[in-house]
Structure 1
Amino acid sequence: MKSKSDIMKILLIGAGGVGIGLAASVASQGAEVSIFARGKTATAIKENEDVTQNF
């Protein structure tokens, strides 16, 4: 198991359709991913926050 200091932290800016898929892929490999989004994408992420926290 990786220690907390070994986990890569990534901030994805401009998360549209491709960015969300990329974030999910990277998170599934063990990285800690934060997503910055605006407009409809931000609203959708906020409405489904319980799902996005468990990629």
Structure 2
Amino acid sequence: MRTNNGEQIPSFPFLFFAFAPIFYGVMFYFMQRLFCWVYNLVAKKVGGFEFETSE
């Protein structure tokens, strides 16, 4: 991209704002899978969470 004077505009901010949500979603997916796997390993040793509800 260029300005009216012909100067080059860095495209980093535009690319960052375009790809940040996609990157965030992909990283969230993989980190969530990792934490679920770790929780399942720990829950076997500790027992996990248990709660009761009453109405």
State the TM-score bracket (shorter-chain normalisation): under 0.3
Question: Which of the pair has more CA radius of gyration?
Answer: 2
Q: Which structure has the higher relative contact order (CA within 8 Å, separation 6+)? A: 1
Q: Normalized per residue, which structure has more strand?
A: 1
TM (norm. structure 1) is 0.27
Q: Normalized per residue, which structure has more helix?
A: 2
TM (norm. structure 2) is 0.27
